[in-house]
Structure 1
Amino acid sequence: MYGTSPIACVADGKVVYVRAPTEKSDDPSHPLNYAMSTDSNASWTDDGCVVIEHEAELGKDTTIRFWSVYMHLSSVTVSSGKEIIRKEIVGSGGVIAGARAIHFEIFTDQGGLDKLIKRGDKAYRVFRAGDNSGDPDLWGDMHFLLPAGTALFDKTQAQASVKYKQWRKRKAAFEKGEDIRILGVARGSVTSDAATRRRRAFPEPEPEGQNQVGTLDKSLWLTVHFAKGHCHTNTYSEDGVLLGSAVFPGKPYEFEMPKIANLLAPNNQSPTYELLRYGRIVGEDALPAGVGNWQCIASPSDEIAYVDLNVPSVVKLSDADFPRFLGWQRIHDGEAGTRLTSDGRCCAKAVLNLLDVNQPSDITEDDALSRLRNPALRKKMRRLVCEFRTEWDAAHFDSTYQFLLRDSASGESPSRAAMTHEQYVAFKAHANALQWWFDAALDIAPTLWHFHPIEFINWMRKCGWIDKSTLARIYKVTPEATRERYRTALNQVMQKYVITNPIRQSHFLGQGAVESLSLKVMQEASNKFASRRSEAELGHWYGSTTDESDRYYCSEKFNGLGKRIKISYSWIGGNVGDIDAQKFRGRGFKQLTGRANYADYWVYRGWLRRSEFDARWWDDDGYRKRDVAQMRRRPASINYPERLIATPYNCIDSGGFYIAFKRSKVKAEIDRGSGVHPNAKSDVNIGMSISRRVTYAINGGYNDDEKRYTLTVHALGLIN
């Protein structure tokens, strides 16, 4: 890694070792003045070093430890024992043999790797046999192994249903027109020669349902990736060769998922939405039988086809499984290949075969270097997780490097002359000056699992799980107990509604900070103390007893200037009178308000059926007259509105539901942003404009718009 820029920490952690850089010396015998080869001059190498221990959360039940190492620093700005946050500067880059560069590595121990890649050395691991699914702490892209014999269809279940419903609607309109025409003939009002009392048949044939268009002749992997509303799929062979790509046709699929969920299971939308999002159910709501998860796939004929992923024979994984077919592979220490060595040189067949694949004999150094420049090979190498003894342990130097005192063996490439004793001593002195393992005393075995650091960082950023320390900085005014009560639910809900990148998460958390006072208020309160008490403590919804009647909710509110700032809730939002104004007050992360919104969420979760009330009861003449006795349409009956905040998940999920199902334009507005923390005035203006549009899309107005923008930018700076 090159450059003299300040070097930043890659994740929150604790500094466990620091070595200040040695002052540069002109003494040619100094161990840090070393010639890297016999035909080069001795040049200085900086030895500043920082080692940081990290604890990363990747889900409700997945926490791992890993370490990052920053070597060849020309200055160090942290001290051992310091708690450090992501992007905090640890020092400045230095030189290696006179060239500007640093060494950067990431490793974990055996326990950390087993928690991270839980499948071990298998291609995949099934955690739940009922639906053949992988790691339950899922994140990132979704991956599906389609067995040979999987049927391909010309349309999805939803597309077929929509076409049929549209046909039924046109047919009903035609038949109604026929009824009117025939009645006109009977009454003599229609007298044209074409008029007849004989009913004409609807001319359009009934649309076909789903038609099978093919079958997979071999097993394939299908990857599903969401980006700015669109759903992208890639098809791979079992060994990871990309065979085709597709984008779900029509409107952005992610933004259509609420409509599809409502179409497929109108009384069980929440689990159906999860099915469309993850390919499996992860929450507590049950999925009704017969609901399919149809995704587009580039068929062998390069045409778009559709396949149902909700069948038990389909294996269902996510990026959390570090899929083997995408190149993630564990390479064990001492894994024997055709070249056996007893030192630290690589002898793993899985690695060596990448370099000399299809070669009849040992390849030359030039051939190997040429292979290493191949982009496809480099991509494969970046996803090998390799176990070997750290090279920074001086105690094992001789057993690792004594082979340098011998000429290269016959057939060994590249050929190499033995080091002289003096050369070996100089090399050892240089290496010992850089080694730090003994001094760091990390209390873990020196045989470690090493990742390509940039690939590791890029992959882990797909997780999007907000850890304890990050949420503490986002909601710094909120008590820790309150933050931790809701943190798991916040993460689960953001994953569910594809709020997984920094720009979406910052808006979700920034807007929610205003609505819920940074998680501190999950029920709209009046000036009465009792309204602030948790309804879980009360054991009922506030206002269900006569002594708790609170006029705040059914009265208009005015500020000190006499300007009305809030209207009565009594006859808006589907509320039926004063009692409803209090019963259906704002609750949850987004302060869901009104009987109509509550009814929609109750139906969404499967707690209420559409058939149990009449649609748009607020359009009833009796409702408009504010007379319950005259109402003919039945309002939704909800006896326990406090259920909305009975659990942390319900609190937060109601907010995710509101954005995805009730305010479908919100995420599209958010996606207009760059995701980069604004610095220039032009960036601030653009960011403020987007935040205002998001605020309007959520609330239908611009209340607290500047505060919402400030809190959103604050969150973005900590997440991005």
Structure 2
Amino acid sequence: MIISPPLLKTAQGNQSDEDWLKDLMPFEAIGNYPISSLLAWHGGQHIKHNDAGSRGEPVRAIADGKVMFARKPSPLTGENAKPDLAINEGSDDGCVIIKHSTEIGEGPDGQVEYYSIYMHLKQVFVQKNQPVYRKTELGSVGQCNGENAMHMEIICDDANLKKLVGREEEDLDLSKDGRMDVVYGDMHFYIPAGAVFYAAQPSANSQTGTGTPAHTSTTPLFISMRFEKGNCKMSTRQENTEILGEYICIGNEIIETDYEYNLYKAATTLANRNEIAPSAMYELLRFGRVINIDNEIAIPAGAAPHWRRVNYPDGQGWVNLNAALIKKYSDADFPHWMGWNLIADDATPDSQCNSPTLLAWLDSDGDKKYTSRELVQVLGQDKITERLSSSICKFPTEWEVATLNTRYEWIKTESDLLETPLDPAQYENFIKLTTALCFWAEADLGITADHWHFHPKKFIEHFRKCGWLSENEMVYTLPKYLFYTEQGQTRTAITSPNSVFSLSKSTAVTRISRHRLYLNQCIRKYLGGNKQRISIFLAQVILETAQWRDLGGSRRLMHEWGFGQYNSANPATQYYTAFYGRGIMQLTWAGNYKQYGAYRMIPHNTRAYIERLTPTAPRISAASRHYSFNPSDGGVLELWHPKYDPDIIGENMFLSCDSGGFYWISKGFSEGININRVADRAYSCANVGFINKLVNGGGNGYYERQAYTAYLIRYLTDTSDLFGNGIEEIAPPSPKAKIKVNFSKVE
């Protein structure tokens, strides 16, 4: 899923994603979610803007989708003004609703649908049934009760709630591990009472520590593991005994510098000690368990420990996160100890919140009475605001005309909550304004009026951690124009309208669809949800796979074209041509194939090796010797047999993709291993050029790799513009020529 906020501005300095999103979608005193200060259900978030000018702040689609409803705004003044919209200082009625059909993981439960609603627009630029892309301008921010603000909602039905969140119950089932088909974001571990913590780090392959335990837990603990730019951050939570359902952090985060960057090295060391495939061990250290169960050699229960230093009450110690009874989850499970709550306990027909769960949170003095003054004070507390924003609530839409009086009669009656009820004239004006804004029957979305609501900012923040790409999202990672001119001071895209230089959407689907599942699994395992990493990685893959072309015959998709026939233009081919099944990112040399075979514990070959270059005799045999790497770089001749047939790397779709991720995270250079070290830096042509060199020496397809990266950075990250025929000039380091990058999408 690719998702971004409805208003976009450039992040400042080293601003974190969370802080950037908070600036764009701040919690406001007005328009609280999921309840207003009058304790009425409120299905969305009000987002203010302060830009001057008649056009206002552009409101953008948060994700790809289809416009299900679009209402042009009515004028607030002038001859054709709607007087009902002028009530309460004026509100614009421009509205757009988008249905988003996307993916957050593999299999049926990874295919999800939800709706985004944009209200109070003073301009609307789209129309019903129009397909839109993330960042497409839908309209502009208008007025909401006299303020420059829009109202936004994110909603779904029951079936998609279960897919999005992974459950229908309020709390996670702690008797079993979390989802396996949908995994993203931070990893989480449930530690039951009785878990043992040690003061000193145990031996890496030891199932238990040595000496007397430093601590034995008496209450359940919840460990979270977050990777961020190579570092690993460990935090611990426990339930607050004084506030039901609240979980508090214990101590400060424990940060292990470069832990993620060195994960391959750690996995290999631990796996060798435990006779386990390093690839499976990598997943254990990365996800807390093996998740690619169809393609991995599973780790037997208790066969490998996962020792981590964490906080416990009043101290720190080492705990085995792979011990029996410890359960593993990810952000895809919406853990309740991280604040996520499913609330559907208000069965009353009116719009007043009568949820016992929420009311208990808001009852600050415990008297089970809720005055306006008390609510204003409580709703102003950051802790309560955060808790409410993490609540996923089921209640009726506020945009249905037919039920207005049923839902709002209560605001005409005096109560502890409503000390000054609306008089008949005020109530009539309220109903007039609300009626003018309603759209539910006209929109006809196909879901019931009583549905699930998410806080928009929290929903967007959460799913930005998910790097799984739907078919459309994956297809659009391929640019329309594939090649750039070979000479000149400025290189430009070759826009000749033929299948060599220009790509259609249908052709792009054909090229990439067979490998999409396995490419997503590769991204999830080695890159995570970071869209800049994914952009830079996929740019290299596009070039390495010859733009995912499969011409058949001697030009197979995942093989060196010509099956490694000697090429006088590249004399080094005499040393590695037998190893031609390269996958999505070249392994090339026998040494890399050997390392990948050991990483995955690919079984030894028991038959003749496949030779696809005819009519020559097989180049790999039981007696053949091959250079591990280029002899000019210190490569030596080694007997390959009885190792696996390297042809499998090009023929097995999972291995084709996984081997590319392996190469990426195992590549050594002057600063250590793992190309993510460079990809995590601020995007620049210089850094892309360095990655070009690490992947393929730096020269082959240099300008295309730069152009693909610029295209993908614009598509997958949060620069304001998206597609179109825009052209932007980038300047790689001298002596390289400038490049005019063409951002046209396939169509």
Bin the TM-score by the shorter chain.
0.7 to 0.9
1:390 equivalent in alignment to 2:385? no
Cα separation, 1, equivalents of 2:665 and 2:697: 15
Cα separation, 1, equivalents of 2:565 and 2:212: 56
CA change 1:649–1:117 in 2 (3 A) is same
In the alignment, which of 301, 309, 320 is matched to residue 296 of structure 1?
Answer: 309
Q: Which digits, 9 at most, give the CA deviation of each residue in 1:340-391, with x for residues without a partner?
A: x651100001111221144335243222112111111111110111111111
Q: Which digits, 9 at most, give the CA deviation of each residue in 1:622-663, with x for residues without a partner?
A: x99x9x9xx8x6445335222112332111100000111234
1:263 equivalent in alignment to 2:269? yes
Cα separation, 2, equivalents of 1:275 and 1:155: 22
Aligned to 1:440: 443
Q: Which sections of structure 2, spanning at least 5 residues, go unmatched?
A: 1-46, 50-55, 240-245, 480-502, 606-620, 718-747
Aligned to 1:192: none
Deviation at 1:120, TM superposition (A): 1.7
Greater Cα offset, 208-217 or 647-656:
208-217
Q: Tell me if the contact between 2:201 and 2:318 (Cα under 8 Å) persists in the aligned partners.
A: yes
Q: Which digits, 9 at most, give the CA deviation of each residue in 1:418-464, with x for residues without a partner?
A: 522x3333322221111011111112211111111111111111111
In the alignment, which of 47, 63, 69 is matched to residue 93 of structure 2?
Answer: 47
1:568 equivalent in alignment to 2:575? no
Cα separation, 2, equivalents of 1:258 and 1:156: 20
Q: Map 1:404-419 to 2 at 5 A.
A: 404-405=411-412, 407-409=413-415, 412-419=416-423
Cα separation, 2, equivalents of 1:247 and 1:503: 25
Q: Which digits, 9 at most, give the CA deviation of each residue in 1:71-92, with x for residues without a partner?
A: 1111110011100001100111
CA change 1:298–1:702 in 2 (3 A) is farther
Q: Tell me if the contact between 1:124 and 1:134 (Cα under 8 Å) persists in the aligned partners.
A: no
CA change 1:392–1:472 in 2 (3 A) is same
Q: Tell me if the contact between 2:667 and 2:675 (Cα under 8 Å) persists in the aligned partners.
A: no
Q: Map 1:214-293 to 2 at 5 A.
A: 214-238=215-239, 239-249=246-256, 251-266=257-272, 268-283=277-292, 284-289=295-300, 290-293=303-306
Cα separation, 1, equivalents of 2:426 and 2:659: 69
- Percent identical residues: 29
Cα separation, 1, equivalents of 2:299 and 2:93: 62
Aligned to 1:172: none
Cα separation, 2, equivalents of 1:301 and 1:417: 51
Cα separation, 2, equivalents of 1:646 and 1:125: 40
Cα separation, 1, equivalents of 2:196 and 2:138: 55
In the alignment, which of 115, 121, 127 is matched to residue 163 of structure 2?
Answer: 115
Q: Secondary structure of the equivalent of 1:87?
A: coil
Cα separation, 2, equivalents of 1:109 and 1:242: 33
Q: Secondary structure of the equivalent of 1:570?
A: helix
Cα separation, 1, equivalents of 2:81 and 2:589: 80
- Code of the residue aligned with 2:427 in structure 1: it is Y
Cα separation, 2, equivalents of 1:90 and 1:333: 35
Q: Tell me if the contact between 2:68 and 2:128 (Cα under 8 Å) persists in the aligned partners.
A: yes
Aligned to 1:376: 383
In the alignment, which of 118, 129, 136 is matched to residue 81 of structure 1?
Answer: 129
Cα RMSD, aligned residues only: 3.0
Cα separation, 2, equivalents of 1:586 and 1:93: 53
Q: Tell me if the contact between 1:157 and 1:210 (Cα under 8 Å) persists in the aligned partners.
A: no
In the alignment, which of 299, 324, 329 is matched to residue 312 of structure 1?
Answer: 324
Aligned to 2:686: 689
1:147 equivalent in alignment to 2:199? no
Cα separation, 2, equivalents of 1:424 and 1:499: 52
Q: Which digits, 9 at most, give the CA deviation of each residue in 1:478-501, with x for residues without a partner?
A: 531221111111111111113421
Q: Which digits, 9 at most, give the CA deviation of each residue in 1:120-143, with x for residues without a partner?
A: 22421379x5xx343431111000
Deviation at 1:300, TM superposition (A): 2.8
Aligned to 1:134: 179
Cα separation, 2, equivalents of 1:437 and 1:654: 50
CA change 1:110–1:594 in 2 (3 A) is same
Q: Tell me if the contact between 1:76 and 1:90 (Cα under 8 Å) persists in the aligned partners.
A: yes
Q: Map 1:445-524 to 2 at 5 A.
A: 445-476=448-479, 477=503, 478-520=507-549
1:532 equivalent in alignment to 2:555? yes
Aligned to 1:183: none
Q: Tell me if the contact between 2:106 and 2:181 (Cα under 8 Å) persists in the aligned partners.
A: no
Cα separation, 2, equivalents of 1:394 and 1:311: 56
Q: Tell me if the contact between 1:134 and 1:316 (Cα under 8 Å) persists in the aligned partners.
A: no
In the alignment, which of 641, 652, 655 is matched to residue 650 of structure 1?
Answer: 655
Q: Tell me if the contact between 1:692 and 1:702 (Cα under 8 Å) persists in the aligned partners.
A: no
Aligned to 2:611: none
1:90 equivalent in alignment to 2:87? no
Q: Tell me if the contact between 2:204 and 2:270 (Cα under 8 Å) persists in the aligned partners.
A: no
CA change 1:499–1:119 in 2 (3 A) is closer
Aligned to 1:199: none
CA change 1:716–1:619 in 2 (3 A) is closer
Aligned to 1:557: 568
- Code of the residue aligned with 1:380 in structure 2: it is R
Q: Which sections of structure 1, spanning at least 5 residues, go unmatched?
A: 37-42, 162-207, 336-340, 536-540, 544-549, 559-565, 576-580, 675-686
Greater Cα offset, 589-598 or 141-150:
589-598
Q: Tell me if the contact between 2:193 and 2:217 (Cα under 8 Å) persists in the aligned partners.
A: yes
Deviation at 1:532, TM superposition (A): 1.7
Cα separation, 1, equivalents of 2:282 and 2:329: 17
Q: Map 1:55-70 to 2 at 5 A.
A: 55-61=101-107, 62-70=110-118
Aligned to 1:706: 703
Q: Secondary structure of the equivalent of 1:32?
A: helix
Aligned to 1:638: 643
Aligned to 2:350: 343
Q: Which digits, 9 at most, give the CA deviation of each residue in 1:242-273, with x for residues without a partner?
A: 11333354x51112211111111136111000
Q: Secondary structure of the equivalent of 2:524?
A: helix
Aligned to 2:12: none
Deviation at 1:107, TM superposition (A): 0.7
Deviation at 1:155, TM superposition (A): 4.6
- Code of the residue aligned with 2:681 in structure 1: it is R
Greater relative contact order, per chain length (Cα 8 Å cut-off, separation 6+): 2
Deviation at 1:301, TM superposition (A): 3.4
Deviation at 1:229, TM superposition (A): 0.6
Deviation at 1:217, TM superposition (A): 2.2
Cα separation, 1, equivalents of 2:390 and 2:61: 22
Aligned to 1:563: none
Cα separation, 1, equivalents of 2:390 and 2:122: 30
Q: Secondary structure of the equivalent of 1:474?
A: coil
Deviation at 1:30, TM superposition (A): 4.5
Aligned to 1:17: 69
CA change 1:81–1:495 in 2 (3 A) is same
The structure with the greater share of residues assigned to helix is: 1
Deviation at 1:158, TM superposition (A): 5.8
Q: Tell me if the contact between 1:470 and 1:718 (Cα under 8 Å) persists in the aligned partners.
A: no
Cα separation, 2, equivalents of 1:329 and 1:32: 37
Output the TM-score relative to the length of structure 2: 0.75
Aligned length: 597
Q: Secondary structure of the equivalent of 2:369?
A: coil
- Code of the residue aligned with 2:288 in structure 1: it is G
Q: Tell me if the contact between 1:31 and 1:433 (Cα under 8 Å) persists in the aligned partners.
A: no
